[in-house]
Amino acid sequence: MERWSINDSVRIYNINNWGADLFSVNKRGNLCVHPSPNSKYSIELRSLIDDLIKRKIKPPILLRFMNILEGRIASINRVFKNAIQENNYPARYQTFYPIKVNQQRQVVEAIANFGKKYNIGLEVGSKPELVAAISMSSGSTLPIICNGYKDTEYIETVLYANKIGYDITIVVEKLFELEKIIELSHKTGISPKLGIRVKLSSRGTGKWATSGGEDAKFGLRVSEIITAIEMLKKQNMIDCVKLLHSHIGSQVTKIDKIKTALIEGARIYVEMKKLGVNLEYIDIGGGLGVDYDGSKSSYFSSVNYSVDEYANDVIYQIKNICDEAGVECPNIISESGRAIVAHYSVLVTNILNTNTQNKMPDFEPILTETEKLSPTVRKLVDIHNSIDRHSLREDYHDTIQLIQEAVSLFNLGYLNLHDRAMAEWLYGRIIRKINVLVEKMRPIPEELQNFKLSMKQTYFANFSLFQSIPDSWAIDQLFPIVPIQRLDEKPDIISSIADITCDSDGEITSFVGESGRTKFLPIHKVRKDEDYYIGFMLIGAYQEILGDLHNLFGDTNAVHVTFNKRTNYRIDSVISGDSITQTLKYVQYDAGEIMKKVRDNLENGVASRKISIEESSHFIELLEKTLQTYTYFGE
Ligand SMILES: Cc1ncc(COP(=O)(O)O)c(C=O)c1O
């Protein structure tokens, strides 16, 4: 076996660059998760999965590491605290967790709990999210900011909640919303706490850049803000406005875009103050990005700044503008979602098989008896028998051309099935021979670098891309994928990862590699009878809620894990994934009715002697059991 160390694995999967010091490889070659950055304690993912399987929890399993969640909230608040101290900033910072990023009750509950000491709040964008947030809070302890489209019910709910002591700010996104708020406030006699969202002309970058700019979907143009101020002054409600909100998009990849937006936002704040609006807060929205590929670049799965730099810029730019204008500095709110939750969850699943595990016919004897073969296949045999490092390039190109020729000849009826199969078999053999030769070449000649891709295999993993990492499909976002075991061995296969949906789009062909995006994942040859698992990392933000039921693959099993010094870890809760009955129910099928129909059909079958009574009852048992099972691949 070629020499290989765990450091080589850390390097090729780029773990140190995207891992935020939360992931490492131990001496046993297993991937580990740390409860906090660089902690000497860690949980070995492979042992955890083996233990969960002993507890009859089946893969795919979504592991939620609650300590990481706590740590991310703490670290964002710490860097803002430092930035406030360094810049002598005279006001406070507060995080509002936007629950759209991951609304799972246990997740929001944990964030609300951990966040108590930082006076964390929740941001909501719809009526159902508002109700969820209200259910978490028992009054002013967990403040809420309301964005999104608001109808009468939404606004009235906020007003009455405010009346009984909740601290809820309604952010005005449209002028018609403001008219409704004024009307309902008069009707109920309840004064709202208001924010105004401004459409900055500054834009973010990457996939969500259109959330900013003058044609953004939400917010008031500067001219509309003037109208809003006049409307509120006329109604004696101007003192209700406490907050200025902006959001230039999620995953802003470039720090200079953030700075420009901060300057524009702060300028609007000081001008509004001068117009007599008693603002107390600037809410800079979300956008703090995550370095998914570890490239520290402005590529859209990365960011070219750190959280420290972000916090420093926020505090510095706002203070600078306020000081210049001689206006009191506001308290600062950020609605960071992705940066809080992305790291805390990992989906682990098993590899089912590969596209090369199929049994091949044995063409070996024919290699010496070629006279009956077609000339095209004979040429491939010659290459196979003679290839060496000197003829490599030419043979590689000839092989590609000959395999294409074989397919064309077959389609035209000049090649029989046997010869086409033989050509396919020879192609695989030649490519493998070339690979052995290429591996020994240093450096690999440029024209052969692409060759590696023709060695690419497809590994089928037990998951649905559409359910568990939909952004990989929808917007081509990169998520690190790492085998969780055998990282002390060289992964000598290169592969893509296909899911088990019947959709050819359900395949991942872009990966986080040593120096950015790669077209393949280095992976080990799965041994016979080995359970081999891979982990999809940094999937805590948006993926769970955006996931869909393609092919009726449902929610995966989810396990909440906390680190424990004595026992290494503790399973806090297990949330069972959807059963087949549940996913069928989402699309209006009723398990009881299904069973009734099948029973009727079976009775007819028994009556007409197509099936015995024993077979019929076996079928009923089987179907009853199947309806209760997990939607993913079982045994
Ligand atoms: C208004 C608002 N706030 C906060 C966020 C969260 O952004 P992020 O996850 O980038 O922090 C979003 C998401 O786009 C948003 O629309």
pLDDT tens digits, residue range 146-175?
999 999 999 999 999 999 999 999 999 999
At residue 528 the predicted structure's pLDDT band, cuts being 50, 70 and 90, is confident
Give the contacts of 135 (CB within 8 A, at least 6 positions apart): none
- Please say whether the dihedral angle defined by the alpha carbons of residues 8, 11, 14 and 17, taken in this order, is positive or negative: positive
| 515 has a pLDDT exceeding 90 | no
- Give one DSSP letter per residue of 167-208, joined into a string: -EEEEE-SHHHHHHHHHHHHHHT-PPEEEEEB--S----GGG
Q: In this structure, are residues 148 and 99 in contact, taking their beta carbons and an 8 Å threshold?
A: no
- In angstroms, the Cα distances linking 462 to 522, 525, 595 are 18, 17, 28
Q: In this structure, are residues 325 and 314 in contact, taking their beta carbons and an 8 Å threshold?
A: no
Superfamily holding 91-336:
Alanine racemase (3.20.20.10)
Lowest mean pLDDT among 120-134, 195-209, 517-531: 195-209
Give the number of the atom of ligand 1 that is nearest the alpha carbon of residue 285. 3
Continuous H helices in 387-478: 392-412, 417-439, 446-449, 465-468, 470-474
Q: What is the pLDDT of residues 96-139, one digit of tens each?
A: 999 999 999 999 999 999 999 999 999 999 999 999 999 998 77
Q: What is the pLDDT of residues 74-83, one digit of tens each?
A: 999 999 999 9
Residue identified by tokens 């101290």 is 85
Lowest mean pLDDT among 215-219, 255-259, 605-609: 215-219
Q: In this structure, are residues 341 and 70 in contact, taking their beta carbons and an 8 Å threshold?
A: no
Question: Going along 261-355, which residue ranges are E strands?
Answer: 281-283, 331-334, 345-354
Compute, in angstroms, the gap from residue 334 CA to the centroid of ligand 1.
Answer: 9
CA dist., res. 312 & res. 86, Å (int): 9
Length of the chain: 635
Compute, in angstroms, the gap from residue 221 CA to the centroid of ligand 1.
Answer: 19
The preferred substitution site among 247, 251, 291, 546 for testing ligand 1, maximizing ligand atoms within 8 Å of CB, is: 247
Choice between 191 and 370, residue whose per-residue pLDDT is larger: 191
Ligand 1 contact via 123 beta carbon (within 6 Å): yes
* Minimal-distance CA residue to ligand 1 atom 14: 250
Ligand 1 contact via 121 beta carbon (within 6 Å): no
Average pLDDT over residues 563-577: 95
Choice between 212 and 236, residue whose per-residue pLDDT is larger: 236
Compute, in angstroms, the gap from residue 361 CA to the centroid of ligand 1.
Answer: 55
Compute, in angstroms, the gap from residue 136 CA to the centroid of ligand 1.
Answer: 20
Ligand 1 contact via 251 beta carbon (within 6 Å): yes
CA dist., res. 427 & res. 425, Å (int): 5
Ligand 1 contact via 206 beta carbon (within 6 Å): no
The predicted structure's pLDDT at residue 66: 95
Beta bridge partners of 497: 459, 508
Q: In this structure, are residues 247 and 285 in contact, taking their beta carbons and an 8 Å threshold?
A: yes
Average pLDDT over residues 91-98: 98
CA dist., res. 375 & res. 402, Å (int): 10
| 442 has a pLDDT exceeding 80 | no
SS3 446: helix
pTM: 0.92
At residue 375 the predicted structure's pLDDT band, cuts being 50, 70 and 90, is very high
Q: In this structure, are residues 11 and 514 in contact, taking their beta carbons and an 8 Å threshold?
A: yes
* Domain 364-453 fold: Methane Monooxygenase Hydroxylase; Chain G, domain 1 (1.20.58)
% of the chain at pLDDT higher than 90: 84
Secondary element (H or E) of residue 574: strand 568-575
Compute, in angstroms, the gap from residue 126 CA to the centroid of ligand 1.
Answer: 13
Give the number of the atom of ligand 1 that is nearest the alpha carbon of residue 245. 1
Compute, in angstroms, the gap from residue 219 CA to the centroid of ligand 1.
Answer: 14
Ligand 1 contact via 337 beta carbon (within 6 Å): yes
The preferred substitution site among 107, 250, 254 for testing ligand 1, maximizing ligand atoms within 8 Å of CB, is: 250
Give the contacts of 41 (CB within 8 A, at least 6 positions apart): 34, 35, 563, 565
The predicted structure's pLDDT at residue 363: 84
The predicted structure's pLDDT at residue 603: 97
At residue 440 the predicted structure's pLDDT band, cuts being 50, 70 and 90, is confident
Ligand 1 contact via 19 beta carbon (within 6 Å): no
Average pLDDT over residues 453-472: 93
Compute, in angstroms, the gap from residue 65 CA to the centroid of ligand 1.
Answer: 22
- Give one DSSP letter per residue of 48-105, joined into a string: HHHHHHHTTPPSSEEEEEHHHHHHHHHHHHHHHHHHHHHTT--S-EEEEEEGGG---H
The predicted structure's pLDDT at residue 356: 67
Q: What is the pLDDT of residues 45-54, one digit of tens each?
A: 999 999 999 9
Ligand 1 contact via 220 beta carbon (within 6 Å): no
Ligand 1 contact via 204 beta carbon (within 6 Å): no
Compute, in angstroms, the gap from residue 278 CA to the centroid of ligand 1.
Answer: 25
Which amino acid, 413? G
SS3 149: coil
- In angstroms, the Cα distances linking 78 to 290, 311, 316, 486 are 17, 10, 16, 36
Q: In this structure, are residues 356 and 553 in contact, taking their beta carbons and an 8 Å threshold?
A: no
The preferred substitution site among 73, 97, 100, 334 for testing ligand 1, maximizing ligand atoms within 8 Å of CB, is: 100
The two tokens of residue 317 are 């730019």
The predicted structure's pLDDT at residue 399: 92
Compute, in angstroms, the gap from residue 543 CA to the centroid of ligand 1.
Answer: 14
CA 136 to chain centre: 25
Continuous H helices in 201-254: 222-234
The predicted structure's pLDDT at residue 364: 81
Lowest mean pLDDT among 165-174, 350-359, 606-615: 350-359
At residue 347 the predicted structure's pLDDT band, cuts being 50, 70 and 90, is very high
Ligand 1 contact via 246 beta carbon (within 6 Å): no
At residue 609 the predicted structure's pLDDT band, cuts being 50, 70 and 90, is very high
The predicted structure's pLDDT at residue 1: 56
The predicted structure's pLDDT at residue 21: 96
CA dist., res. 545 & res. 362, Å (int): 49
The predicted structure's pLDDT at residue 2: 65
Q: In this structure, are residues 263 and 315 in contact, taking their beta carbons and an 8 Å threshold?
A: no
Compute, in angstroms, the gap from residue 123 CA to the centroid of ligand 1.
Answer: 9
Ligand 1 contact via 250 beta carbon (within 6 Å): yes
Compute, in angstroms, the gap from residue 251 CA to the centroid of ligand 1.
Answer: 9
Average pLDDT over residues 221-250: 96
* Minimal-distance CA residue to ligand 1 atom 7: 286
Compute, in angstroms, the gap from residue 98 CA to the centroid of ligand 1.
Answer: 6
Compute, in angstroms, the gap from residue 5 CA to the centroid of ligand 1.
Answer: 40
| 214 has a pLDDT exceeding 80 | no
Question: How do strand 331-334 and strand 568-575 relate by DSSP bridges?
Answer: unpaired
Average pLDDT over residues 455-473: 95
Ligand 1 contact via 577 beta carbon (within 6 Å): no
Give the number of the atom of ligand 1 that is nearest the alpha carbon of residue 287. 10
The two tokens of residue 202 are 């500054």
Lowest mean pLDDT among 306-315, 381-390, 549-558: 381-390
Ligand 1 contact via 129 beta carbon (within 6 Å): no
Lowest mean pLDDT among 449-458, 487-496, 533-542: 449-458
* Minimal-distance CA residue to ligand 1 atom 15: 286
Residue identified by tokens 């810049």 is 87
Q: Left if phi > 0, otherwise alpha if psi is -120 to 50, otherwise beta: which for 412?
A: alpha
| 520 has a pLDDT exceeding 60 | yes
pLDDT mean across residues, the chain: 93
The two tokens of residue 282 are 């600037």
